[in-house]
Amino acid sequence: MAYFGKINAVSILVAFLFFAAAELMVNTYRLSRLLNMELSVVVNVSMLLLGIWVVGGAVVCYLVISRWMEKRKSDYLTVVLWFPYFILMTYIFVSLFPINHPADDPAPVLGLVIIGGVFVYPFILAFIIYASHSLRKKTAQYDMEE
């Protein structure tokens, strides 16, 4: 049962990483209006933050999976289990912070970008899990040889 909780906790973490990136992209017009900044400044800062978030998120996921998970094939459940948590987080966010101002609507192409991200993200997660399993296997082999 404890391992099931670990898988769910990692899935929630992974879903939050994707959720935060998606919401940052979708809410650029809202941020521009609320912060009273030009849209180009908000877009540039958002892109910088997204880059940092993606790299930092990949490193955090790698470290959490390699140190916390038990190198089982069931670790790959995270590849599928993150999606319901992402949908739940999105639903809660949209319910709490609805778009009331018509100018805050995101650009239509962002839907395609997020759909593409939803299709690519599981492959990235599977690669991170595979890499964390491979590294642990190599370090375990080196420990046994000494």
Is the pLDDT at 146 greater than 70? The verdict is no
The reported pTM is 0.84
- Give the Cα separation of 101 and 87 in Å (integer): 23
Q: Phi first, then psi: give them for residue 101, nearest 5 degrees.
A: -95, 125
Nearest CA among 96, 22, 32, 88 for reference residue 53: 22
- Provide CB contacts within 8 A for 80, sequence distance 6+: 122
Give pLDDT tens digits for 41-87: 988 999 999 999 989 988 988 888 888 887 788 788 889 999 999 99
pLDDT at 134: 82
Query: How does pLDDT run across 91-121, given as a tens digit for each residue?
Result: 999 999 888 888 888 888 999 999 999 999 9
Cα separation, 83 vs 9, whole angstroms: 13
